[in-house]
Amino acid sequence: MKIKKEVLADIIKEARKVTPIEACGYLGGIDSQITTIYPLTNIDKSEEHFSFDPKEQFATVKASREKGEKVLAVYHSHPASPARPSVEDIKLAYDPNILYIIASLNNGEETIKGFWIKNGEVSNEELEVV
């Protein structure tokens, strides 16, 4: 999956802005290139998990479509743990056709990784920065 470097920077910016809670949102684009970040509110206000506001989520999907994009990925941050899916992340990954991107701020190190999660199985996805 290709991702614009500005989007990566914005994911980290959003993660820093809301830490210690998890940042979350959608990433939109065309074909296999992520070009737009859609930050969403973590209504759980939790340091260990996130939930989208359903109205905000629906409006974001609509906005993405109006731009001619498709939602290609869900992103969220791990303020104090590595950039890998937690047991809960895997359990709640309902859409096997969407990429899951995790941004870690663990120990002051900023790491972003992508994962496909299908039927509880996790595989890495290389993020090609463009």
| pTM given for the model | 0.94
The predicted pLDDT at position 12 comes to 97
**What CATH number is attached to the domain comprising 14?**
3.40.140.10
Pick the closest to residue 21 from 63, 77, 91, 92 (CA basis). 77
Q: Give me the residues paired with residue 111 across strands.
A: 104
**Alpha carbon distance 87, 99 (integer Å):** 17
**Alpha carbon distance 31, 86 (integer Å):** 28
Task: Report the number of distinct structural domains present in the chain.
Answer: 1
What is the three-class DSSP state of 8?
helix
For 72-116, the pLDDT digits (tens) are 999 999 999 999 999 999 998 989 999 999 999 998 889 999 999
**Non-local CB neighbours of 44 within 8 Å, separated by 6+ positions:** 21, 22, 50, 51
